[in-house]
Amino acid sequence: MKKEYSMIPKSIKENDLYGFSWIDFVTSIPSVLFLVTTYKSNGKPNACLQSWATFVEDYCIMASVNKNKHMYKSIKETGDMVLNFPSMEIYPKCVETIKNNGFDVDEITESGLTVERSKIINAPLIKECFLNLECKYLWEKENVEGSEHVVMCVKIINVSMDTEYFDENIKGRYGETGYIYNIHNPTNPETGKMEDDFLGILQKIK
Ligand SMILES: Cc1cc2nc3c(=O)[nH]c(=O)nc-3n(C[C@H](O)[C@H](O)[C@H](O)COP(=O)(O)O)c2cc1C
């Protein structure tokens, strides 16, 4: 049996949705987690966790970039950024970047991670991440008119990947050591019960 929902279910109306749509919670579609690193206008490295994004050919489309954060401002200033993919082992340090969010702070070093210069562009990268994608800003569009969030398209111009990860017989890209997924508060539309946020990993089946 399926149930249809085209408006916010009554049970969810009382929940605090932190500015997200109820559809995010009902569908809770997982998306890959990564950190966007840039240089702020004072030269300090910035790191920003992102998850609502998709990748195709040499493009990444970030679906919900907050215009009021350092990441957006520094991309508009430099046009350059690195998308860094962490494994679970270093994820707690990645979350620290949210706490260490001062303008005058090197958010990468302060969170216990290592800054390296990119090979081609003007942005820092995180050494401990198994995959670093050096990117150039292409275009953006407001999600809806007047929104604080934009959809942003960037072009990948350099791929740097740990050799143990591109060999699927050593660490590979998936499973416990590979890509991490954001599972955002799965919520039952009938009862309104909201689960915790979870982190997911991907298992290859066949
Ligand atoms: C799991 C997770 C996923 C996130 N995904 C996004 C996202 O897709 N877009 C966004 O604008 N912020 C996202 N954030 C929030 C930013 O990481 C957060 O606001 C950050 O502190 C902004 O950093 P900045 O001011 O240095 O750019 C996410 C946070 C977490 C914990």
Residue 88 pLDDT: 97
Instruction: Name the pTM for this structure.
Output: 0.96
Q: CA–CA separation, 202 vs 95, rounded Å?
A: 20
pLDDT tens string 40-90: 999 999 999 999 999 999 999 999 999 999 999 999 999 999 999 999 999
What's residue 16's pLDDT? 87
18 pLDDT higher than 90? no
pLDDT of residue 70: 97
CATH code given to domain 29-168: 2.30.110.10
What whole-number distance in Å separates Cα of residue 30 and Cα of residue 124?
27
Give the burial class of 54: count Cβ atoms within 10 A of its Cβ; 0-12 exposed, 13-18 middle, 19 or more buried. Answer: exposed
Q: Whose CA is nearest to atom 23 of ligand 1?
A: 48
pLDDT of 15 strictly over 90: no
Pocket of ligand 1 (CB under 6 A): 33, 46, 48-52, 64-66, 69-71, 98, 101, 182
Laid out side by side, the sheet with 45-50 consists of 45-50, 34-39, 80-85, 131-142, 149-161, 59-66, 53-56
pLDDT the model gives residue 200: 98
| Mean pLDDT of the residues in the chain | 96
Q: What is the predicted pLDDT for the residue at 157?
A: 98
- pLDDT score of 30: 97
* Cα of 156 from ligand 1 centre, angstroms: 20
Q: Domain-by-domain residue ranges, the chain? A: 29-168
β 45-50/124-126 pair status: unpaired
Which band of pLDDT confidence, cut at 50, 70 and 90, is reported for residue 183? very high
Cα torsion for 132, 135, 141, 142, to the nearest 10°? 40
